[in-house]
Amino acid sequence: MVDVTGDPRAPAGTVVKSMDGSAERTLLITLTGRDRPGVTSRLFGTLAEFPLTVADVEQVVIRGRLVLGVLVAYTEGADIGRVWNATEKVATDLDMDIELSTGRNKRVPKRSGRLHVTVTGAPLMPAAMAGIAARIAANGANIDRIERLAGNPVTCIEMDVSGAEPERLRAGLAAEAAEQQVDVAVQHGGLHRRAKRLIVMDVDSTLIQGEVIELLARHAGCLDEVAKVTEAAMRGELDFEGSLRERVALLAGLDAAAIDEVRGELRLAAGARTLVRTLKRLDYKFAIVSGGFTQVTEALVDDLGIDYSAANTLEIQDGKLTGRVTGPVIDRAGKAAALERFAREAGIPVSQTVAIGDGANDLDMLQAAGLGIAYNAKPVVRQAADTAVNVPYLDTILFLLGISREEVEAADAADASL
């Protein structure tokens, strides 16, 4: 590839020319070794002594080991032999390995279909990564970058993928994810992903653990009957409004004081506070929409600083539940309408919303949002949503938005020091 001696290890002082006479070529410098302060500065300080331009740079540190790649371009007449020797001296001084290769500075055609593929596992096994990578390759796509977003309590890896048809890749990776028992999300890259600004979340079995109506039913002594109807409704086997009215009717006569007791029994999903706290730091708006009851969701609004909420309201007379709800029922269509209303009130396009839910009554909301996430959801919901999260940590959703565990912890530490 290199003229003059035929040996790419040309001696100092040799002028390197391309064999076809082109005026510009490239040199790729890759340094590998123990990470420490000053490595990047030292390399670029040396390169600054030569008539080179920086074409590309990538750097990654894994467990204290640095891989730094620098692609520089040079024109005919550059003394690349001296550059070669100078960079090798840097590597020797730093006790690092170095690899150098030359080539033509060809323009690389831009690959279409840039996507983010996020893989989450607890644990994440090599076989899962092998299967995911094989599916990407089988789609004729290329992995351009890999980055770890989290290592505990789940491992999350994000890949930038180019050259893939999104729906075909999503289908293939969904099948592989099921086989490998990991979560895989496929999203469009670029500004589209970063634009998400309103999070709308279901409450029962999503933001909180369990179902509020079942907690009330336990106090009323009708838990088994209510749970059976709830399960069928979440699978989409029953009309939600009809099933809600049927379950609420079983609560007739329950003392309203039981609602206060249920509020005290609520348990947030693991990672819920981290999710809300982190997104609100980034000026996201946060909303909850529930087929449950305002008498309970209002406490969550106050506790978490939720911006918008919608839920059903239990009718209470003479200090007891009547077995009815008042006003329009927040059902499947009602949740989607609430998402659109919240977006209007926030001045945010629906395309910049994220919806999170687990049951069939969340389907319209998930499909209306810019990104619909099925969280530990029923099969019918996982199949219809843009992506699914099947680990019991709600803050895993942050990784789908490109926010790493390290960034979250750093922000928490900064707040704690104030």
Q: Which residues pair with 270 in a beta bridge?
A: none
CA distance 343 to 292: 21
Phi and psi torsions of 400, nearest 5°: -65, -20
* Residue labelled with tokens 């890759």: 30
Q: Are 123 and 48 in contact (CB under 8 A)?
A: no
Q: Which residues pair with 53 in a beta bridge?
A: 73
Query: What is the torsion angle, in degrees rounded to the nearest 10, for the CA atoms of residue 362, residue 364, residue 365 and residue 366?
Result: 80
Cα-to-chain-centroid distance, residue 241: 33
Can you tell me whether residue 176 is helix, strand or coil? helix
Q: Are 326 and 315 in contact (CB under 8 A)?
A: yes
CA distances for 213 relative to 205, 251, 295, 374, 376, angstroms: 11, 9, 12, 21, 19
Phi and psi torsions of 131, nearest 5°: -65, -40
Active-site residue flag, 202: yes
Quick one: which of 344, 335, 337 has its CA closest to 363?
335
> What is the bridge-based pairing of β-strands 65-75 and 53-62?
antiparallel
Active-site residue flag, 302: no
Phi and psi torsions of 316, nearest 5°: -125, 130
- Estimate the share of the chain in helix, then strand, then coil, as percent rounded to the nearest 5: 40, 30, 30
Q: Are 75 and 51 in contact (CB under 8 A)?
A: yes
DSSP-derived secondary structure letter, 164 = -
**Catalytic pick from 202, 331, 358, 362?**
202
CA distances for 349 relative to 17, 343, 367, angstroms: 55, 6, 14
Q: Are 143 and 136 in contact (CB under 8 A)?
A: yes
**Catalytic pick from 183, 204, 362, 386?**
204
Q: Are 175 and 329 in contact (CB under 8 A)?
A: no
The residues that are catalytic are: 202, 204
